[in-house]
Structure 1
């Protein structure tokens, strides 16, 4: 059953395309308005500056997109995306040394943001009633009864380089214009109250450079890994600033990788020379040595637009009908935590579920959707707050009093070490932690599980007695060991295409 003649989506990036997929079964026409002229292939464009940095497609996100556009994951892998098991295919430097390599329950698909968008565009263009108009600048919204209980968004205005200003009526409008969306300002100008917002900016800056990898036969035998991760130091003694960096050497399609360094409130390199020099000072020589064996494919790209911001449309009294908000347009996260794409796809999937059960797009529909979306957004939001609130440099409405911030900062690393250490030894904790990382479960729900609490206590005791089963802390100045420490018996997860196998390589 269709719920209207036309739905209009503002923005043709991941959030907008996911929203279009959710809307298509319930409207005669879904019109996507995109400011950029979209490339035919996988290419960067002005409206997505983040595309030059690594993007994790979390399991919850890839499943949500696959439900909205069946076959998306298969098409992404066919186009070059890598289906890997991080615990086997990634080398992790945590605390004082390399983590052990072992099978786990989690797999991931690695690719560039531009490939994700290209595959999504291809899938959307196959849906007959989705129309994408490019080179369009949205200039405002049309409303009726603004600021009242009957207030509703009824359409949008937009302009093109050739046709001037146009007005488009819509039964439903979706704001997917990202962090820079002006919709909240347009609502206030029309007569609704100013939209309250929660903010926290931990001054994260990160810098990336693309590299062509050596051919497989030209790589060192020690390169059993495909993904390299260096966590920030936990050392309280004096150390180089680069030891505070979160580092990734992130594999993508076309035999390439993205080298990325990021930090909280530290100046990051902007030039190729500075990038290489900084890489040589991180906690392991492997990062710089790996880059030296590769061929640079790009200049250095730096990003500072990393603050957390949640526009609380659910707190407007009254909230407008006729419009919903998806992705960064409603809740933008510190990109370090890789939550943006998956959160947007999850909101789009939730929208589809509400449309499926709706009989009319009345006020109850929009209030109910906002309330349910708020619950879903709390999971990634609280995860971002749990880390970023601990930094003295953080600013915004969600900062903590100094004494609370110091307590949070003091507890964050010990709690993380306990959970990741226990996950190496306990399959149940490993599965729960993978679900938390992939936004399938909240950290609070995980920590309320009696089985998880018992496992954490058991690991704490075993660690104190020196009786842990899986070794940890291999010398960071040496190559990470290739030994597979998976306990004998059935695999914890069926090995995906491209995942490492075998006990030692």
Structure 2
């Protein structure tokens, strides 16, 4: 059903492109306003500095984008994206050593952020009633009688029957709404001082025979004794299209290398020599890229008694996450799909529409927000409204890392736990729902008993200074 003549999307990044796909069937014309000049190919641009770092496209995001743009996943793979099973294709170092290689329920599409956005742009440009206008800076909103009726740019005012804010972390929409008479929105924050640094490499044409893996993941150590700071880094050797990888190191509250020499030096001090050795066999194709803007931030527009009519928010403009948890694109796509569902059931975009959509979006965002808080609240360096009393912070810090490692270990041997853990990771289930599932509780207790008796079926903790084992241990896992 058509709900108006013109819808305007503020921002042409992944969130804005998904929003355009959600709006297209319900308005005569959809106009996407983007400040940057958008490249025709998969290239970096000023407005998306985080594109230089790894981006996981979680299963919830894959499904949401696929629903908005049928065939998206096939196009992404045809363009070079890699469809992999992390448990078989990734060398994973957690706890004391390498995990066993085995089949599991989760698969993922690996690609660069710039390729994801290029494919999305192509999908949007194929929609007859969507226009992407580049080089446009939005300067304000036009509001009247409790609703948004237009968008102002430096050169014109565009009348709009509906507006979507997809301007990201730095969105000024909240400020513009306050100037129009709405109260200052409550903002929930937690900045765990995450910094991450990346460098791009080209893989060798003939990798060593020992490279059965496509992806390397090194989790921070749980060791409380003396060790180099690099042992607390979260490390990825992340495969992307074009026979390339992104080598990435990140940390909570630690200084990260900014130069190529410092980057290589830090790589040699992480918990396994494999990371640096792999880098040395590859050809660097970029400088070192560092990002600090990583705090969790939720603008609680849903708590306004009378939210603006004809306005919605998607992506980081309403809820931004610590990028370590790979929730951004998937949450944005899921919000866009949710918006499409509400538009399909609406006869007009009135007060009731705004309240219902924000309430449903709040429920959706609680899942990734809760996951981000579950870890970030344990760091002493964390600051913001969601910072915990010291006793609770210490408790989370003491429990979260070992608990995560324990659940990963249980998932190695129990297909049901593995399935639920994959759902949590992919934002298809909340951590609370998983941890109150009777079958999961029984499986975790059984794993605890087996661990105490030394009767685990799947080996783990392989020497991190040795090559990760290539053996497939799938036949040792049980239900």
Indicate whether the TM-score tops 0.5. Answer: yes
Of the three residues 307, 331, 348, the one matched with 1:343 is 331
SS of the aligned residue for 1:208 comes to strand
Long gaps (5+) in structure 1: 146-150, 160-164, 493-505
| Distance (whole Å) between structure 2 residues aligned to residue 203 and residue 361 of structure 1 | 39
> Could you say which residue in structure 2 is the equivalent of 1:194?
184
Contact 2:202–2:285 (CA under 8 A) maintained in structure 1: yes
Matched, 1:366 2:354: yes
> Could you say which residue in structure 2 is the equivalent of 1:502?
none
Of the three residues 433, 456, 459, the one matched with 2:421 is 433
Q: 1:375-414, aligned counterparts within 5 Å?
A: 375-414=363-402
| Distance (whole Å) between structure 2 residues aligned to residue 27 and residue 118 of structure 1 | 24
| Distance (whole Å) between structure 2 residues aligned to residue 447 and residue 95 of structure 1 | 21
Matched, 1:224 2:205: no
| Distance (whole Å) between structure 2 residues aligned to residue 172 and residue 77 of structure 1 | 33
> Could you say which residue in structure 1 is the equivalent of 2:62?
62
SS of the aligned residue for 2:470 comes to coil
> Could you say which residue in structure 2 is the equivalent of 1:2?
2
Cα offsets for 1:234-284 (capped at 9, x unmatched):
001110000000000000000000000000111100100000000000000
| Distance (whole Å) between structure 2 residues aligned to residue 59 and residue 175 of structure 1 | 24
> Could you say which residue in structure 2 is the equivalent of 1:174?
164
How far did residue 317 of structure 1 move?
Answer: 2.5
Matched, 1:292 2:280: yes
> Could you say which residue in structure 1 is the equivalent of 2:147?
152
Contact 2:185–2:304 (CA under 8 A) maintained in structure 1: yes
Matched, 1:203 2:203: no
Cα offsets for 1:375-432 (capped at 9, x unmatched):
0000000000000000010000000000110011111022112211110000000000
- When the two chains are superposed, the root-mean-square deviation of aligned CA atoms in Å is 1.1
SS of the aligned residue for 1:278 comes to helix
Query: For this pair of structures, how many residues does the alignment match?
Result: 479
Cα offsets for 1:57-111 (capped at 9, x unmatched):
0011011001100110000000000000000000000011000000001100000
Matched, 1:481 2:476: no
TM score, norm. by length of structure 2: 0.99
Q: 1:74-223, aligned counterparts within 5 Å?
A: 74-145=74-145, 151-159=146-154, 165-215=155-205, 218-223=206-211
Runs of 4+ in structure 1 displaced over 3 angstroms? none
> Could you say which residue in structure 2 is the equivalent of 1:464?
452
Of the three residues 315, 320, 323, the one matched with 2:308 is 320
Cα offsets for 1:425-448 (capped at 9, x unmatched):
000000000000000000111111
| Distance (whole Å) between structure 2 residues aligned to residue 154 and residue 374 of structure 1 | 24
SS of the aligned residue for 1:474 comes to coil
Of the three residues 270, 275, 278, the one matched with 2:263 is 275
SS of the aligned residue for 1:229 comes to strand
How far did residue 321 of structure 1 move?
Answer: 1.0
| Distance (whole Å) between structure 1 residues aligned to residue 82 and residue 376 of structure 2 | 30
How far did residue 316 of structure 1 move?
Answer: 1.6
Cα offsets for 1:313-347 (capped at 9, x unmatched):
01123211110000000000000000000000000
Matched, 1:42 2:32: no
Of the three residues 429, 433, 440, the one matched with 1:445 is 433
Deviates more, 1:174-183 or 1:407-416: 407-416
| Distance (whole Å) between structure 2 residues aligned to residue 9 and residue 282 of structure 1 | 43
| Distance (whole Å) between structure 2 residues aligned to residue 202 and residue 316 of structure 1 | 27
Long gaps (5+) in structure 2: none
Matched, 1:254 2:242: yes
SS of the aligned residue for 2:91 comes to strand
> Could you say which residue in structure 2 is the equivalent of 1:305?
293
| Distance (whole Å) between structure 2 residues aligned to residue 446 and residue 317 of structure 1 | 33
| Distance (whole Å) between structure 2 residues aligned to residue 489 and residue 399 of structure 1 | 39
How far did residue 489 of structure 1 move?
Answer: 10
Contact 2:221–2:231 (CA under 8 A) maintained in structure 1: yes
Cα offsets for 1:181-239 (capped at 9, x unmatched):
00000000111101110000000000000000001xx2111100000000000001110
| Distance (whole Å) between structure 2 residues aligned to residue 12 and residue 352 of structure 1 | 18
